A and B are shown apart, each in its own frame.
Chain A
Amino acid sequence: MENDKVEYLPEDAWRQWHTELLQSTVNRVYERMPFYKKVLDEAGIRPEEIRSMEDLKALPFTSRTDLASNYPYGFFAVPLRDIVRIHTLGTSASTNPIVLGYTAQDLNNRKWLTRRFLVTCGVTPEDIVQICLDPGMAIPGQDLKEGAEALGALVIPPDPLSTKTRLQVLVDFKTSVLITTPSYARYLMRHLVQNGLPLASLSLKRLILVGETLDEETRREIELGLDMETRAGYGVSEATGPGLAYECPCKCGLHLSLDHIIPEVIDPCSGQQLGPGHWGELAITTVTTRSNPLIRFRTGDLTRLNIEPCECGRTTWRMAPVRGRTDGLLAIRGVLIDPADTSNLIAMWAGGKRLPFLMVLSDKDYLTRLELWIAINEEIFSGSLPHSTTG
């Protein structure tokens, strides 16, 4: 089916499509992945018992811990030689990172999904697209670059430049679309104003905001301040990348890529599936991913689903902008930070000592910053502890 046509399928066609995709996915992970064979056997579920989307509820969840504890290649559904790229996520001291592989088909899907996201957000082959993302968002940054290239735009990829240089690029290179996080967009806006750059002379006409929630207040501030259109995208690195959900011109929720994933909202405590309209944790089942298929992957993001067709004509379900996290992780400029990892890191620096600490989020110059306040005593201050390497 054409990539764009699929977004307009009638409800019964979606039901057929999803039933098929769910069944073939469960059949495949059961046959190909010892991890899922084990959890399905333990749950007493045979793949042929999956009769409809309703039966999704019976399947066990997959967590980030499941991914990490199958380090390095235990979560792969295809032989290694079919993998053409690998990324690792979440390098912390205490646990293994999550290893994600991609077959050529997986990469292609990510590219086309990202392309669809950008096209829906109004990016055209005539655009000059500048991507400003922190190195912590290197993976989505790469996906966005490839997606924008696939649609034929001129792309200025993410780079570690200073804000001053980025602004110079923005002005001199006549950037027409900027892809960044909401907080960095506000920060840039502030700089533009401070440096007295005439906003009217900018070629910039559109901001695509990813990595953090774009709340209504921030959106208004940016749209009024810069006098331009903003669109939001939502992605999950473990799943299909930045094209997972995106806004259409109606800007009333993010359209989910139902041809590649089946989303659910669940009660984060009980795990019960919640109906449309209820706030809860987003869980995602991937139905086209070949390398690391996920069954009911718990994203940790709080949202709710709207299954009504949109005014734009798309029938794909929409999710509300993420309202927070269910797992105590902090999302800072598009990067997830686990306080437990921070504690481990401090202990490493302090020669194994657990020190009390505070994580303080500040909004200096509109740019979200994480400050770490660590309680130290004389022993540490005087440097009498055995020194460990600082990394």
Chain B
Amino acid sequence: MLNIRNLHTKYGPISVIRNVSLHVDEGETVCLIGANGAGKTTLLLTISGLIKPSSGSIVFDGNEISGMRPERVVQLGISQAPEGRQIFAPLSVLENLRLGAFHRHGKNREENIARDLNEVFRLFPRLHEKREQMAGTLSGGEQQMLAIGRAIMANPRLLLLDEPSLGLAPRLVDTIMDTIKTLNNRGITILLVEQNAKKALKISNRGYVLETGRIILQGKSSELSEDSEVRRAYLGKDYKEISQRH
């Protein structure tokens, strides 16, 4: 579904994504893990078209999308729930969700939007309760739900999630993870960036490990979560290296 080859992204002269190749097959949940500053957000933004890559190719369903305008990318079926719950604070929950469907058109537009709105409210009953409330007054967890809900309103086939569990209480993290699994079961393909590597590996099929803009390791999530190196670096198991290499 998504095939990325030799992607390079720079901020000015500084290379942030260096020769990244990765793929996501239809129906998969793939996670991307890596330390702060590794380039995870930059990679997602490059896929969404919000940042232009300096070179490389991003093919989605056979279409080259690298360098495309973000609206086009959304129309093709990729939608991103941004890091840090960038919602529109002064607008209501409902208005925020409707904004997510902004780029949709075609016959039965209104019907389809109404159906998806119902779907979002079924996934997140809390959003239904608070649908008239100003988004800025939602709790952190609710804002996160709203960000995901808004991404779903674009009716994506590929959903990019950037740290959906950031700053949430453990119980809420589990709820969000369950929701991601549910979304995947309903046929949405997911590329997930998570600081909570343990949880992300649990709900994904495969994973890639990004280190200073380069992919250093990849594999089935079940294997990565057992991997000593991954555990040490990303699963919070005693970071310090005790043994000597030579």
- Residues of A that sit less than 8 Å from B by CB: 1, 16-17, 19-21, 23-24, 27-28, 31, 47-52, 73-74, 76, 78-82, 103-105, 108, 288, 290
Given the complex, which residues of A lie within 8 Å of B208, measured CB to CB? 24
User: Could you jot down 12 A-B contacts, CB within 8 Å?
Assistant: A19-B6, A19-B21, A20-B23, A27-B211, A47-B19, A49-B19, A50-B19, A73-B245, A73-B246, A78-B229, A80-B244, A104-B226
Interface residues of chain B, those whose CB is within 8 Å of chain A, are 3, 5-6, 8, 18-19, 21-23, 206, 208, 211, 214-220, 223, 226-229, 241-246
CB-CB under 8 A from A105, the residues of chain B are: 223, 226-227
Q: A16-B5, A17-B23, A31-B216 provided; 6 other pairs, C-beta below 8 A? A: A76-B245, A81-B228, A82-B228, A103-B227, A108-B223, A288-B219
Least Cβ–Cβ distance between A295 and chain B, in angstroms: 15
The answer to whether A1 and B21 touch across the interface, beta carbons within 8 angstroms, is no
- With most chain A CB atoms within 10 A of its CB, the pick from B8, B219, B220 is B219
Residues of A within 8 Å of B5, CB to CB, are 16, 19, 51-52
**Cα of A20 to Cα of B226 in the assembled complex, Å:** 21
- Please determine whether B21 and A23 come into contact, CB atoms closer than 8 angstroms: yes
A49, A103, A105, most chain B CB atoms within 10 A? A105
Contact of B21 among A16, A28, A31, A47 (CB under 8 A): A16
Identify the closest chain A residue to B218 (Cβ): A24
In angstroms, how far is the closest chain B Cβ from the Cβ of A121?
Answer: 24
User: Within the assembled complex, what's the spacing in Å between the Cα atoms of A20 and B5?
Assistant: 8
> Distance (Å) between the CB of A206 and the closest chain B CB?
31
Closest residue on chain A to residue B223 by CB atoms: A105
Contacts of B22 in A (CB 8 A): 20
Q: Are B242 and A81 within 8 A (Cβ)?
A: yes
Decide if B228 touches A103 in the complex (CB within 8 Å): yes
From DSSP, what is the main secondary structure of chain B's interface residues?
A: strand
Q: When A73-B245, A79-B245, A105-B223 are in contact, do A21 and B19 touch as well, CB less than 8 Å?
A: no
When chains A and B are docked, how far (Å) is the Cα of A150 from the Cα of B240?
Answer: 35
Closest to B231 in A: A82
Give the residues in chain B near A52, CB-CB below 8 Å: 5-6
Instruction: State the CA gap A225–B218 with chains docked (Å).
Output: 48
What is the bound-complex CA distance between A328 and B206, given in angstroms? Answer: 43
**B23 contact set on A, CB distance < 8 A:** 16-17, 20
Q: Which residues of chain B are within 8 angstroms of A79 by Cβ–Cβ distance?
A: 241-245
Alpha-carbon separation in the docked complex, A135 to B34 (Å): 45
Q: Which residues of chain B are within 8 angstroms of A78 by Cβ–Cβ distance? A: 228-229
Residue of A24, A47, A81 with most chain B CB atoms under a 10 A cut-off: A24
Q: What residue of chain B has the Cβ atom nearest to residue A50's Cβ?
A: B19
Contact across chains for B242 and A23 when beta carbons are under 8 A apart: no
* Minimum C-beta distance from A390 to chain B (A): 35
10 tightest A-B contacts by CB? Answer: A48-B19, A82-B228, A81-B243, A27-B214, A20-B21, A80-B243, A24-B215, A48-B18, A79-B243, A51-B6
Residue of B214, B218, B223, B228 touching A21 (CB-CB under 8 A): B218
B237 CB → nearest A CB, Å: 12
Q: Using Cβ atoms and an 8 Å threshold, which residues of chain A touch B243?
A: 79-81
* Residues in B whose Cβ lies below 8 Å from that of A28: 216-217
Chain A residues closer than 8 Å to B3, beta-carbon distance: 16
**Which A residues are CB-close (under 8 A) to B223?**
105, 108
Tell me the complex Cα distance, A50–B21, Å: 11
Residues of A within 8 A of B214 (CB): 23-24, 27, 47-48
- B215 lies within 8 A of A23 (CB): yes
Q: Which residue of A lies closest to B15 (CB)?
A: A48
- Assess whether B215 is in contact with A20, with CB atoms less than 8 Å apart: yes
User: A residues within 8 A CB of B217?
Assistant: 24, 28
Give the chain B neighbours of A48 by CB distance below 8 A. Answer: 8, 18-19, 214
Contact of A74 among B228, B242, B246 (CB under 8 A): B246
- CB pair A20–B218 under 8 Å, yes or no, is yes
Contact A31 B211 (CB under 8 A): yes
The distance from the CB of A88 to the nearest CB of chain B, in whole angstroms, is 17
- B68 nearest CB across to chain A (Å): 20
